[in-house]
């Protein structure tokens, strides 16, 4: 009988339930449910609708039952850094504020009053992003101290959903590292740092590795969805899952996990917490098997997503990409400029940047998309050179995984700007990486090497030469 495994992969713009099984040594995937995700404003704060997302999670589970494809196990991954605080009756305290909200403005200074930025990087290895959990908790401490006082637990978003399914609280390691409160040496919470910052120690749950069996569904969930299954923690940070599925067993592999963000980097055995690395704003995110993802967060296709939304979804992603490829405008923006993180209008933000820098102002949808794609590609080129400088390795190929691997024009630009052969795909890398960890935990895939070989054998890649 076929054994199914279920990955629930929720990105910042969409979520999906993907069932996976093995057939003659290959992984076969089937999409069971897909749903929208995005931020909505509540009490003046940009929030995730976690209740709605949990409903979608259960809807997808019911669809598996209806199809007669009940998974042996399941696991959830989402974007990183965001969390909920729970009181001692497990009720959520305050809003589920999203990382693009402005509440963290100025909280970096408050953190650095406790510990200088250089020291913080030296002990966590995590890139400064104003939305990291460390700064978000400082915002809560400043604006809603009563929430921190009442809190008995902090759970990152996938940990929270998995708690709702099983009744068990834990902090999955790969996602926990994005809080900037975990030590790359001990792979555990840095309680000294946590206490210095005045965050209550009691709210931090035990850190557990991907592959941990969290437990079975509660009786209530079993009754509602109509079956029971094990919850096995994947790399719950979606980037952690996506990078697992980069189809290469070569020691020196360069990748971009391309979705809402473009996460460009390499895998390393040790974290580089040096001043030089901090200066270039590289991060050392915790990965499967205690590998580190040495990478840079680049603003990514969020810019295209925002453009598409602002144009009232009049064009598809494929359409925008195609239109952009026919344009000749040469204006470029610095994608990592903070003005692009959460602008009221992405169109205006791009146009103003071009105006401020004396470049041609893009006007049409095609021109706007062209400027964004070209700017992303330029940023990839610069980042590759920095990675090569930091690692002392010359890379020949660049793997692009995630939804952005569909963007043919961007892939062509990327090959040109980096000088690397671009291998695009798989596009559902995050779900695949999620499934890989469950299958490794169950012994269906022997180890990471075998699992990556299986991805290579199972999914197509498109090749773009520089
Ligand atoms: N056919 C296509 N042509 C061009 N671009 C595409 C196409 N399909 C998807 N994309 C790009 O991929 C992006 C979606 O990627 P993906 O589905 O991995 O994101 P996500 O899961 O919602 O978010 P996250 O990266 O946070 O996980 C879109 O924003 C779009 O820019
Ligand atoms: C904030 C983002 O969630 C995070 O940095 C990124 O790695 C991600 O999760 C992309 O989906």
Q: Are 314 and 403 members of one domain? A: yes
Share of the chain above pLDDT 90, in %: 99
Whether residue 223 lies inside any domain: the answer is: yes
27 shares its domain with 158 = yes
Q: Which CATH number fits the domain that encloses residue 216?
A: 3.30.420.40
For the CA of 178, the closest atom of ligand 2 is: 5
79 lines ligand 2 (CB under 6 A): yes
**123: containing domain:** 4-232
- Distance from residue 13's CA to the centre of ligand 1 (Å): 8
259 lines ligand 2 (CB under 6 A): yes
Judged by its nearest atom, the ligand closest to the C-alpha of residue 259 is 1
User: What domain count does the chain have?
Assistant: 2
Confidence category of residue 402, pLDDT binned at 50, 70, 90: very high
Q: Do 150 and 73 share a domain, yes or no?
A: yes
Are 228 and 342 found together in one domain?
Answer: no
* Same domain membership, residue 70 and residue 110: yes
What ligand is nearest to the CA atom of residue 37?
1
Specify whether 53 is located in the same domain as 188.
yes
Q: Which residue has the tokens 């967060």?
A: 297
Q: Please, are residues 17 and 31 in contact by the beta-carbon 8 Å criterion?
A: yes
Same domain, 314 and 395: yes
Shared domain for 175 and 272, answered yes or no, is: no
With a Cβ cut-off of 6 Å, ligand 1 is lined by 11-14, 79, 238, 259-261, 301, 304-305, 317-318, 321, 402-404, 406-407, 430
Does 131 reside within a domain?
yes
Residue ID of nearest Cα to ligand 1 atom 17: 403
pLDDT tens digits along 183-202: 999 999 999 999 999 999 99
Alpha carbon nearest to ligand 2 atom 8, residue: 79
pLDDT at 457 over 90: yes
Q: Can 190 be counted among the known catalytic residues?
A: no
Average pLDDT over the chain reads 98
From 77, 101, 159, 238, active-site residue: 238
Question: Is 71 among the domain residues?
Answer: yes
Q: 302 alpha carbon to ligand 1 midpoint, in Å?
A: 9
In a domain, 432, yes or no: no
- Cα 239 to averaged position of ligand 2 atoms, centre (Å): 7
167 and 273, same domain (yes or no): no
Same domain for 118 and 72: yes
Q: Is residue 240 very low, low, confident or very high in pLDDT (cuts 50, 70, 90)?
A: very high
Q: Tell me the pLDDT band of 372, cut-offs 50, 70 and 90.
A: very high
State which of 232, 259, 294 marks the end of a domain: 232
Q: Which of 80, 98, 296 to mutate to test the pocket of ligand 2 (most atoms within 8 A of CB)?
A: 80
φ and ψ at residue 72, rounded to 5 degrees? -70, -40
- Tell me the ligand closest to 304's alpha carbon: 1
187, 208, 232: which is the final residue of a domain?
A: 232
Q: Average of pLDDT values for 283-305? A: 98
153, 121 contact by CB (below 8 A): no
Confirm if 466 and 384 have CB atoms less than 8 A apart: no
Using one digit for the tens of pLDDT, what is the confidence trace for 105-116? 999 999 999 999
Residue (of 279, 255, 11) closest to 127 by Cα position:
279
Question: Above 90 in pLDDT, residue 225?
Answer: yes
Rounded alpha-carbon distances, angstroms, from residue 324 to 142, 320, 365, 435? 44, 6, 8, 35
1 CA to centre of ligand 2 in angstroms: 37
Query: 376 CB under 6 A from ligand 2?
Result: no
- 428 CA → ligand 1 middle, Å: 10
Distance CA 268, CA 171 (A): 23
pLDDT at 413 over 90: yes
Let me know whether 191 and 264 are in one domain. Answer: no
Instruction: State the ligand closest to the CA atom of 427.
Output: 1
Q: Which of these three, 232, 267, 282, is where a domain ends?
A: 232
Q: Per-residue pLDDT averaged across 237-250, rounded?
A: 97
Q: How far is the CA of 188 from the centre of ligand 1 (A)?
A: 32
Instruction: Give the list of residues 6+ apart from residue 120 with CB closer than 8 angstroms, or none.
Output: 111, 112, 134, 180, 193
Q: Which of 404, 424, 462 to mutate to test the pocket of ligand 1 (most atoms within 8 A of CB)?
A: 404
pLDDT at 251: 84
Whether residue 393 lies inside any domain: the answer is yes
Q: What is the ipTM of this complex?
A: 0.96
For the record, the structure tokens of 297 come out as 């967060």
Structure tokens at 230: 């094990």
Helices (H) and strands (E) in the chain, counts: 18, 20
Between the CA of 273 and the centroid of ligand 2 the distance, in Å, is 20
**Residue range 132-184, pLDDT digits in tens:** 999 999 999 999 999 999 999 999 999 999 999 999 999 999 999 999 999 99
Torsion angles phi and psi, residue 96, rounded to 5:
-90, 80
Same-domain pairing of 264 and 380: yes
Q: What is the pTM of this model?
A: 0.98
């Amino acid at each position: 009988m076929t054994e199914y495994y279920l990955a629930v992969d929720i990105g910042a713009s969409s979520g999906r339930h993907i069932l996976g099984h093995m057939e003659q040594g290959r992984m076969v995937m089937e999409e069971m449910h897909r749903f929208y995700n995005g931020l909505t404003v509540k009490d003046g704060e940009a929030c995730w609708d976690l209740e709605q997302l949990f409903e979608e999670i259960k809807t997808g589970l019911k669809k598996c039952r209806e199809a007669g494809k009940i998974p042996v196990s399941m696991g959830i991954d989402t974007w990183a850094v965001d969390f909920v605080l729970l009181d001692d009756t497990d009720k959520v305290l305050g809003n589920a504020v999203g990382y693009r909200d402005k509440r963290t403005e100025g909280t970096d200074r408050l953190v650095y009053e406790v510990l200088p930025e250089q020291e913080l990087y030296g002990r966590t290895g995590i890139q400064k992003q104003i939305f990291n959990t460390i700064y978000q908790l400082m915002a809560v401490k400043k604006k809603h101290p009563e929430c921190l006082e009442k809190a008995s637990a902090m759970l990152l978003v996938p940990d929270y959903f998995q708690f709702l399914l099983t009744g068990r609280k834990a902090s999955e390691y790969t996602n926990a590292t994005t809080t900037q409160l975990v030590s790359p040496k001990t792979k555990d919470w840095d309680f000294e740092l946590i206490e210095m910052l005045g965050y209550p120690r009691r709210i931090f749950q035990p850190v557990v590795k991907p592959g941990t069996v969290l437990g079975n569904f509660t009786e209530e969930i079993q009754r509602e969805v109509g079956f029971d299954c094990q919850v096995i923690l994947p790399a719950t940070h979606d980037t952690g899952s996506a990078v697992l599925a980069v189809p290469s067993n070569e020691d020196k592999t360069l990748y971009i996990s391309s979705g809402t963000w473009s996460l460009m980097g390499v895998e390393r055995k040790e974290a580089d917490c040096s001043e030089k690395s901090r200066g270039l704003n590289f991060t050392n995110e915790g990965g499967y098997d205690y590998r580190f993802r040495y990478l840079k967060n680049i603003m990514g296709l969020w810019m295209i997503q925002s453009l598409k939304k602002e144009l009232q979804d009049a064009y598809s992603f494929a359409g925008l990409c195609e239109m952009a490829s026919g344009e000749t405008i040469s204006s470029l923006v610095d994608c990592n400029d903070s003005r692009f993180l959460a602008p009221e209008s992405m169109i205006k933000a791009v146009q103003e940047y071009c105006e401020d820098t004396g470049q041609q102002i893009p006007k049409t949808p095609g021109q706007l998309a062209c400027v964004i794609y070209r700017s992303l590609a330029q940023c990839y080129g610069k980042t590759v050179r920095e990675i090569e400088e930091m690692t002392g390795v010359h890379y020949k190929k660049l793997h692009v995984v995630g939804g952005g691997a569909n963007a043919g024009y961007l892939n062509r630009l990327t090959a040109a700007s980096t000088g690397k052969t671009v291998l695009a795909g798989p596009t559902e890398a995050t779900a695949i990486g999620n499934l890989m960890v469950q299958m490794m935990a169950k012994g269906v895939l022997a180890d990471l090497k075998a699992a990556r070989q299986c991805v290579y054998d199972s999914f197509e890649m498109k090749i773009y030469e520089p």
